[in-house]
Chains A and B, each alone.
Chain A
């Protein structure tokens, strides 16, 4: 394994490996995880790569520990990441909430497999999309990105680290087994701009660790920098001290949500295919969007004006993008490898303006383009 962080050049690698390389290129120097399929290639690559470039790889005793260690490493000043799949993602929910509450920048990749429970450990699923949004207790916002190719897995991982620092928030990469194991060309640019942490601009005296800047994000003082701050998962005031009042709770949780919700333009990514004249829009993400693209081509051959809206950012849900699309088409079909999760968000955004359909599968395989085509034909 090479001893440089950014492997500039053209490679043939799978989505998991691309996530690992994206993390290194973005400046990630701490990775903690627990073995789980189909995430293995991320951890294995980083186990080989990190010690050679001045970073730390540690295999923890479970995913609870992996996520907690990532939060700890971020407070130690590192850019930190973990990766898992469904069962491990469930265990990470606890300390994902800690990262939200303490405003800890970090990245979590979930290479989705089919659940519930152990489900199909080596086969594809997209059933964790709502868990990504609501899996930890309490009300919160975070950002989730869904790559549909190894190249995009690399690009979005770099982006995820930048967004994590920008918003001081965990950022999720919600990929899936097929993208994770798919080998394709991945081009790593000559230079990758590392995300910068927002550091305090005032001396320790008078520094309030949870007093936000104008954009609602507070600068972050890490361990050993002389700020001697207190960080707690309890509801806290601007000093970081526990405040058990309903007012403090409402103020804090609203700010945590608002700091992300206020800036959709900074993280809302999507791609449109053949939507200019489309009567039917297929909405999909991750590997399902790739199949859906094939279905759109089949539909076009049959004379059906279909197009694809590929969601790259799934959380916060791009309400506005979907809502405005509903004004241009006669129907929409959501395609995903679960029995209808993001389709609920589509429904909320569209508010009955157009008929909606869904092509769902509980997991274990990707859709066949013909199934999606049938869904398209059903909605027109």
Chain B
């Protein structure tokens, strides 16, 4: 649907056919490919509001995505944006960030991209405490390819490759990230738009590896096959079952179907970053500089 040109001055906040944060969007690429009821739109909005609220220069932020529905985020933001290969946005961001240490590198990708094919890169970037933000939109399955089971699909979840119900244990991403050494770990749902925005603001201004999991509906695939209703019904589910508990033990943050689950900020520590430690080492050497 083309963006409508309005003759009258639009209301300040929301104008029909316009996104309030469109200065950060590639409007010439709208409409996006995401389904009605998908959580990705609000997720990207929260990110852009966070950028705006911090007054960040878009030229100082690079967005890097992998492959999949969330992998398309990079294609819609008007910043230096890289749509890389499946599972590799973190190592790509590693190179970019080390070449341009003054820029912020934000990895925006999905649960399959970051934790199945790219899982190894995630734990090593967390271990190194690289200065990158990783935002994982977890919709419990591979949406782009038609709803296959993934590393976060709950036990019993019906997917096109788990037609009789998933019998593999899923990852708890919060616990995984904390175990790998991530100094900032948070989880929210795509219903919590203001909290998401605040979390992303925190990530954008802090140093070191920061991880945010966003639980988001996939009504077209996971929701439909598991009779979770429309996207709105899934948001209602979050409202009923997501319990805020900042500082909870990451081991207690497992997500089980039909049960309450924890959201909040679980880890927020200051650790020397990869770049700080690299700089310290260089300073020890004669003639070292960067």
Residues of A within 8 A of B (CB): 3-4, 29-30, 32, 51-56, 58, 60-62, 64-66, 68-78, 80, 94-95, 97-98, 222-234, 239, 241-242
Q: Are B91 and A231 in contact (CB under 8 A)?
A: no
CB neighbours of A29 from chain B (8 A): 99
Could you give 21 example pairs across A and B, Cβ below 8 Å?
A3-B285, A30-B95, A32-B91, A54-B288, A56-B98, A60-B94, A61-B91, A65-B88, A65-B124, A68-B121, A72-B95, A72-B96, A72-B99, A73-B98, A76-B97, A80-B95, A223-B96, A227-B80, A228-B58, A229-B80, A229-B81
Query: Which B residues touch A55, using CB under 8 A?
Result: 290
Bound form: Cα–Cα A269–B85 in Å: 33
Shortest Cβ distance from residue B80 to the other chain A in the assembled complex, whole angstroms: 4
Give the top 7 A-B pairs by smallest Cβ distance, nearest first.
A76-B99, A72-B95, A3-B287, A73-B95, A69-B95, A65-B91, A68-B91
- Nearest CB of chain A from residue B51's CB, rounded to whole Å: 13
Which residues of A lie under 8 Å from residue B211 when comparing CB positions? none
Asked if A51 meets B281 with Cβ closer than 8 Å, knowing A65-B121, A72-B91, the reply is: yes
Identify the closest chain B residue to A77 (Cβ): B99
B83 within 8 A of A: yes
Q: CB distance B83 to A233 under 8 Å?
A: yes
Interface string of B254-287 (1 = CB under 8 A from A): 0000000000000000000000001001100111
Mask for B186-217, Cβ within 8 A of A = 1, else 0?
00000000000000000000000000000000
B169 contacts the other chain (Cβ, under 8 Å)?
no
Given the known inter-chain contacts A61-B121, A226-B59, A228-B79, please indicate yes or no for A68 contacting B84, CB distance below 8 A: yes
- Minimum CB–CB distance from B148 to chain A (whole Å) comes to 20
19 new A-B contacts at CB < 8 Å, known A52-B288, A68-B85, A233-B83? A30-B99, A51-B282, A51-B285, A51-B288, A56-B98, A65-B124, A71-B95, A72-B96, A73-B95, A75-B99, A76-B96, A76-B98, A76-B103, A223-B96, A224-B60, A228-B79, A230-B74, A230-B75, A232-B82
* A253, B196: Cα distance in complex, Å: 41
Distance in angstroms from A204 CB to nearest chain B CB is 9
Tier of interface size on chain B: 35 or more
**Contact residues in B for A4 (Cβ distance below 8 Å):** 287
Contacts of B82 in A (CB 8 A): 72, 75, 230-232
Chain B residues at the A interface, C-beta cutoff of 8 Å: 26, 28-29, 58-60, 62, 64, 74-75, 78-85, 87-88, 90-100, 102-103, 120-121, 124, 278, 281-282, 285-290
- Closest Cβ neighbor of A70 among chain B residues: B95
Cα distance A365–B64 when bound, in Å? Answer: 44
How far is it, in angstroms, between the C-alpha of A58 and the C-alpha of B87 when the chains are bound?
A: 19
Residues of A within 8 A of B288 (CB): 3, 51-52, 54
Q: How far in angstroms is the closest Cβ of chain B from A36?
A: 16
